[in-house]
Chain A
Amino acid sequence: MDGFAEPSLYTVKAVFILDNDGNRLLSKYYDPELYPSMKEQKNFEMNVFNKTHKADNEISFLEGMTIVYKSSIDLFFYVAGSAQENELMLMAVLNCLFESLSQMLRKNVEKRTLLDNMDGVFLVVDEIIDGGVILESDPQQVIEKVNYRVRDCTEEQISLCNELTKIQIDNTVKLSSKFYLKI
């Protein structure tokens, strides 16, 4: 008999978000014995990505761990737990992570928006899992606690446009001054 594992609140072994090439955007490992080096972590992430990105299967078992996952446009979200872990608890974490991000990013769960609001993403993950313990599982609560104001794309773009026009004006001024000098 394999015996019952020591009951513990340490449910999540790792959580990571990858882009559609399998590159790490964010990852947290909560078990120091699991892949202590960065190289091992990235190998593991690549392996998981290669095995999962083709079919949207929601759950898999790799390298001795139960892994639940979900994809959205060009993003892949993963939550890993031990082989004995309750799969539905891991699912609850994954769903909470996804729902919270979805709400925070106003349903634009894609790489660009995510990276533009990376600080918010770090905070959301921090509110959901603390050192491997599930801290909160209700997306509404997470959003309230993080209280993050999403960076508005339009506002950003306007300022960007302003910047660009300013540079253009500068350039024309410079050009024209040169022009004048030549004359």
Chain B
Amino acid sequence: MIKKFDKKDEESGSGSNPFQHLEKSAVLQEARIFNETPINPRRCLHILTKIIYLLNQGEHFGTTEATEAFFAMTRLFQSNDQTLRRMCYLTIKEMANISEDVIIVTSSLTKDMTGKEDVYRGPAIRALCRITDTTMLQAIERYMKQAIVDKVPSVSSSALVSSLHMVKMSFDVVKRWVNEAQEAASSDNIMVQYHALGLLYHLRKNDRLAVTKMLNKFTKSGLKSPFAYCMMIRIASKLLEETEGGHDSPLFDFIESCLRNKHEMVVYEAASAIVHMPNCTARELAPAVSVLQLFCSSPKAALRYAAVRTLNKVAMKHPSAVTACNLDLENLITDSNRSIATLAITTLLKTGSESSVDRLMKQISSFVSEISDEFKVVVVQAISALCQKYPRKHSVMMNFLSNMLRDDGGFEYKRAIVDCIISIIEENPESKETGLAHLCEFIEDCEHTVLATKILHLLGKEGPRTPTPSKYIRFIFNRVVLESEAVRAAAVSALAKFGAQNDDLLPSVLVLMKRCMMDSDDEVRDRATFYMNVLQQKQKALNAAYIFNGLSVSVPGLEKSLHQYTLEPSEKPFDMKTVPLATAPITEQKTEIAPVATSKLPEKLAPSRQDIYQEQLAAIPEFKGLGPLFKSSEPVQLTEAETEYVVRCIKHTFANHMIFQFDCTNTLNDQLLQRVLVQMEPSEAYEVLNYVPAPSLPYSQPSSCYSLVRLPEDDPTAVSCTFSCTMKYLVRDCDPNTGEPDDDGYDDEYVLEDLEVTVADHIQKVLKPNFGAAWDEIGDDNEKEETFALATVRTLDEAVNNIISFLGMQPCERSDKVPENKNSHVLFLAGVFRGGHDVLVRARLALADGVTMQVTVRSTDENVVDVILASVG
């Protein structure tokens, strides 16, 4: 058979693949010779190789044919040819999931794993564990224990690694082998050490004390394996992170001592661990940085890459710590490995001075087309960071970015560029026009709908406020003519904003709108008709409400409310105020420019946290008829960390009620709690109506109980209240191992920390993209103004953050960022008060000795204005 193949290849040249034209059916046909006696090891071996090769190429084997081949293969155990036997093990592993009844080979494998031939024992163990389940594992437990401590390293390693794989499936069985693993860890063989350490850690990782002990023991005894050292460094840094241990801890000393290990692998692991630790001081970083600096001049590309990648990370937080390496990094910017060169340049961009920026940018543009998209994103992110640091350089950067925008590239890359340009525009008003011009040019030829709509939205927001808004109209209208539905619809919305803001453009916008009303797509036509009618009214308030600041309700919530409305026919018109508000997006934190890893998963539009709560609460019969959920707070801890019971509370606000959700966790494994509820004593006129207890609270399984409270109706200004909370429950002692509880229990209680309800719990954040328009829309009917002196506050930043977190309102127009070196600032806040009253706050701040603050509040309801001013005071 072999020869036949060889001959074919001889004809087609020596480089061809003898397995190229394999036919699955032909190979399975050939597999029949497995049944011949005597066995021809050579031919059988070749056929097994073909089967494995086919499987590896992704050939699909049906269950029947796979099972047939598998059973034929079992006969080959009669042969004593070493390679053939080893290939049988491989076939077993490959077929474990496609063939039926693979356990048929258990006894053959058990025989091999305990036999005299050392060559067979390790691989037999690994094959056996691949086909074993939890029940069968107990049958071979004795052999596994023996194998773990076997004096032959390959046997011991195989048993340890296989046990590790089994941990996921049969933790309880493998847990019993801890002593054997412990013994194996003191083996002389470096791989056995490593595998034993790994297994021990996986078995003990939930028991911090045991891990600490283990680590202490091994750091003292001194393992030989560099792999094991790397593993220990990882465990140590994990422990440090969890315990928030200071850097004077022995664990930190251990990691630092690894910087002097003789293996580069260990040194690098230690340096990388130190660099990734939060709150490292420059002094603690220094030794790690200096070993990385040495690696920068290594002849090994992988080492240079590892070093410069890590230095790049350091440079994000501590640019000054890396300055010492600038010279070494300069040498790497011409490295033949473009990944290294890119990382070196982006690091230098972070650490270098303003004067070197131009030179580096020039260097990088010489090879930017050669590097992969992942690294292009790194470059863009570096530029983005640079623009924040040196705002004066934005014209160079903008130029560079627009060139990159013209090159080919994937979506992630283009998105990074567009985001970067947008952030430059937002940070530097003087760059707005050039930036918008580049983006306009980009959407002329942009294949990504998401980016086109994003840019059109930005144009609609920023374009009308530029000196010459008319020049953007052409770009936007081109989209209406040329693009897909989604982009056309976005373009129509952008056009409407121009018409609403610029009176002289209004007639031309109306003409264009009229044309859009004949679009072939429903959505585009609807939008055009809607905007057309709003614009024709020429009323500022309408423009503000319907064009600048769109709906602020949660979309899934609106869908549900409308559905509900259609189910219950009523005379009343649908009330928008019954729809839960959209939770304002938590201001996107600048995603750490850390690992270049861009997540591959597409972002799914998950229901918001609030929608999930709404659903959960609606399922509880006691809470029927409260109306839509208005706001859910962030969880508040009511216990210290690491107490017997951990309780946290989420406050859910409704129109006239509040529900307190207590998430309780029982950390005692010898207790079962039942009928758990949290009793609340209010300090004000709040009335506790109902408790919904958690029926049972077993060890480490969180469960929730609820309290329903009615807000005082007669006094709308009573927004804040303090509750003293006590958890009451029935305790039943139980066996820590089995969880079997005693028959009878006793009542007990546990005092929790006080719970505060503040004004922020009554206000939902709402983003008004155009604050000025919204401010005019509400008008000054209920306006009130007051001045306060904030004596304890030292900076404007601090004052702004305090006000935002106190009122729980959404900062608008990026007014939460205080420009540097300014003595005054205006903060705009928007929100909706419980009951659906819009409320806007304008706070003028001035910095003298303390901070003086003049607060102006406007709302659709007079009481709300009073509440806000009263609570600020």
Q: Which residues of A contact B (CB under 8 A)?
A: 1-9, 19, 23-28, 38, 41-42, 51, 55, 57-64, 68, 74, 83-84, 86-92, 111-112, 115-116, 118-120, 122-123, 126, 130-131, 133-137, 141, 145-149, 156, 159-160, 163-164
Provide the bound-state CA to CA distance between A15 and B251, in Å.
34
| Contact of B336 with A131 in the complex, beta carbons under 8 Å | no
Contacts of B595 in A (CB 8 A): 2, 83-84
Contact A9 B195 (CB under 8 A): yes
Q: For A55, give its contact among B7, B238, B336, B600 (CB under 8 Å).
A: B336
Which A residues touch B339, using CB under 8 A? Answer: 57, 59-61
Across-interface contacts of B598 in A (CB, < 8 A): 64
**Is B227 interfacial (CB-CB < 8 Å)?**
yes
Task: State the majority secondary structure of interface residues on A.
Answer: mixed
Closest approach, in angstroms, between the C-beta of A96 and any C-beta of chain B? 11
With contact pairs A1-B278, A122-B87, A130-B126 given, residues A64 and B56 touching in the complex (Cβ less than 8 Å): no
Residues of A within 8 A of B264 (CB): 88
Query: Are A88 and B53 interface neighbours, CB within 8 A?
Result: no
- Inter-chain contacts of B10 with A (CB < 8 A): 160
Q: Report the number of A-B residue pairs with Cβ-Cβ less than 8 Å.
A: 181
Q: Cβ of A111 and Cβ of B83 under 8 Å apart?
A: no
7 contacts between A and B (CB under 8 A): A9-B195, A58-B301, A59-B301, A88-B268, A91-B302, A122-B87, A156-B2
Interface residues as binary, B632-663 with A (CB distance below 8 Å gives 1, 0 otherwise): 00000000000000000000000000000000
Q: B-side binding surface: helix, strand, loop or mixed?
A: helix
The complex places the Cα of A159 from the Cα of B5 at a distance, in Å, of 13
> Is residue B17 contacting chain A, with contact meaning CB distance below 8 A?
yes
Q: Is the CB of B227 within 8 A of A89?
A: yes
Q: Are B119 and A42 in contact (CB under 8 A)?
A: no
* 9 closest residue pairs by CB, A with B: A38-B58, A7-B234, A9-B198, A58-B301, A88-B265, A87-B306, A83-B597, A57-B337, A64-B597
Q: B386 at interface (Cβ–Cβ under 8 A)?
A: no
Shortest Cβ distance from A123 into B: residue: B86
Task: List the B side residues contacting A147 at CB < 8 Å.
Answer: 82-83, 119
Tell me the bound Cα distance from A4 to B372 in angstroms: 27
Assembly CA distance A78 to B272 (angstroms): 24
Cross-chain contact B19 with A118 (CB below 8 angstroms): yes
Q: Are B83 and A119 in contact (CB under 8 A)?
A: yes
B18 within 8 A of A: yes
Contact A160 B56 (CB under 8 A): no
Complex alpha-carbon distance, A119 and B47, angstroms: 10
With beta carbons under 8 angstroms apart, the residue of B19, B272, B276 that contacts A2 is B276
Interface status of B49 (Cβ within 8 A of chain A) = yes
> Which of A3, A7, A74, A135 is within 8 Å of B191, CB to CB?
A135
Interface contact A145-B305, CB-CB below 8 Å: no
Q: CA A6 – CA B651 in complex, angstroms?
A: 33
Least Cβ distance of B596 to chain A in Å? 6
Is residue B45 within 8 Å, beta carbon to beta carbon, of the partner chain? yes
In the docked arrangement, what's the CA distance between A84 and B276, Å?
A: 11
Which of A4, A64, A92, A156 makes the CB contact (< 8 A) with B238? A4
A115 vs B5: C-alpha distance in the bound complex, in angstroms?
A: 12
A88, B306: Cβ atoms under 8 Å?
A: yes
Q: Are A133 and B164 within 8 A (Cβ)?
A: yes
Q: How far is the CA of A122 from the CA of B92 in the complex (A)?
A: 13
Whether A88 and B227, one on each chain, are in contact in the complex, defined by CB atoms closer than 8 angstroms, is no
* A136, B157: Cβ atoms closer than 8 Å: yes
* Given known contacts A62-B372, A68-B302, A123 and B83 CB-to-CB distance under 8 angstroms: yes
Q: Which residues of B contact A60 (CB under 8 A)?
A: 339, 372
Render B52-79 as a binary contact track against A, CB cut-off 8 A, 1 for contact. Answer: 1100111000000000000000000000
CA distance A26 to B350 in the complex (A): 42
CB contact under 8 A between A119 and B306, given known A2-B276, A3-B241: no
CB-nearest residue of chain B to A73: B15
Question: What chain A residues lie within 8 Å of B276 (beta carbons)?
Answer: 1-2, 4
Interface centre among A87, A135, A149 (most CB of B within 10 A): A87
Check A7/B235 contact, CB under 8 A, given A60-B372, A88-B268, A135-B191.
yes
- CB contacts (< 8 Å) of A38 on chain B: these are 58
Q: Are A6 and B238 in contact (CB under 8 A)?
A: yes
Contact A7 B201 (CB under 8 A): yes
B6 to A, closest residue via Cβ: A160
Question: In the complex the two chains form, what is the Cα distance from A9 to B597 in whole Å?
Answer: 21
Output the least CB separation between A57 and chain B (Å).
Answer: 4
Find out whether the CB atom of A119 lies under 8 angstroms from the CB atom of B302: no
Given the complex of chains A and B, what is the CA–CA distance between A8 and B205 in angstroms? 11
Can you name the residue of chain B whose Cβ is closest to the Cβ of A55?
A: B336
Contact: A137 with B201, CB < 8 Å?
no
Judge whether B195 and A122 touch: CB under 8 Å: no
**By the criterion CB–CB under 8 Å, are A4 and B83 in contact?**
no
- Told that A5-B234, A57-B336, A83-B595 touch, could you supply 5 new A-B pairs with CB distance under 8 A? A7-B235, A59-B339, A84-B595, A126-B123, A160-B7
A42 vs B19: C-alpha distance when bound (angstroms): 18
Partner of B241, one of A4, A8, A87, A120: A4
* Complexed CA–CA distance, A120 and B87 (Å): 9
Task: A28 to B56: give the CA distance in the assembly, Å.
Answer: 8
- B374 and A61 contacting across the interface, CB-CB below 8 Å: yes
* B594 interface residue per 8 A CB criterion: yes
Cα separation A5 to B235 with both chains bound (whole Å): 10
Could you tell me the distance between the alpha carbons of A133 and B122 in the complex, rounded to whole angstroms? 15
A50 CB to closest chain B CB, in angstroms? 10
Task: Identify A115's interface contact among B18, B198, B306, CB under 8 A.
Answer: B18
Flag whether B154 is at the interface (Cβ < 8 A): yes
* Chain A residues, CB < 8 A from B600: 63-64
A33 to chain B, nearest CB (A): 11
Q: Which of B788-839 contact A (CB under 8 A)?
A: none
Contact B268–A61 (Cβ < 8 Å): no
Please indicate the chain A residues that have their CB under 8 angstroms from the CB of B300 in the complex.
Answer: 58, 91
B158-180 toward A: CB 8 Å interface, digit per residue (1/0)?
10011011000000000000000
User: Is the pair B302, A59 in contact by a Cβ cutoff of 8 Å?
Assistant: yes
Cβ-neighbour of B302 out of A28, A58, A120, A130 (below 8 A): A58
Is there an interface contact between A148 and B52, defined as CB atoms closer than 8 Å? no
Minimal beta-carbon separation of A16 from chain B (angstroms): 10
Query: In the complex the two chains form, is A119's CB within 8 Å of B87's CB?
Result: yes
Give the CA-CA distance A110 to B224 in the complex, in Å: 35
A114 (CB) vs chain B CBs: closest residue? B17
1/0 contact string of B298-317 vs chain A (CB within 8 Å): 00111101100100000000
Bound-state CA distance A156–B2 (Å) is: 9
- A88 and B56: CB pair below 8 A? no
CA distance A88 to B819 in the complex (A): 45
A136 touches B161 (CB 8 A): no
Question: Does B459 reach chain A (CB closer than 8 Å)?
Answer: no
A88 to chain B, nearest CB (A): 4
Collect the chain A residues with CB atoms within 8 Å of residue B195's CB. Answer: 9, 133
Specify the chain B residue showing the minimal Cβ separation from A125. Answer: B90
A54 to B, closest residue via Cβ: B370
A27 contact from B48, B56, B161, B303, Cβ within 8 A: B56
Distance to closest chain A CB from B88 (angstroms): 11
Residues of B within 8 A of A1 (CB): 276, 278
Measured CA separation A33–B386 after assembly (Å):
36
Nearest-neighbour CB distance to chain B for A39, whole angstroms, equals 8
Establish whether residues A134 and B227, one from each chain, have CB atoms under 8 Å apart when the complex forms.
yes
Q: Could you tell me if B17 and A19 are in contact, using CB atoms closer than 8 angstroms?
A: yes
Distance in angstroms from A111 CB to nearest chain B CB is 6
Q: Which of B17, B53, B165, B592 contacts A131 (CB 8 A)?
A: B165
Smallest CB gap from B310: residue in A:
A87
The closest CB in chain A to the CB of B370 belongs to A55
B14 near A112: Cβ-Cβ < 8 Å: yes
Whether B49 contacts A118 by the Cβ 8 Å rule is yes
A58: which B residues are within 8 A, CB to CB? 300-302, 305, 337
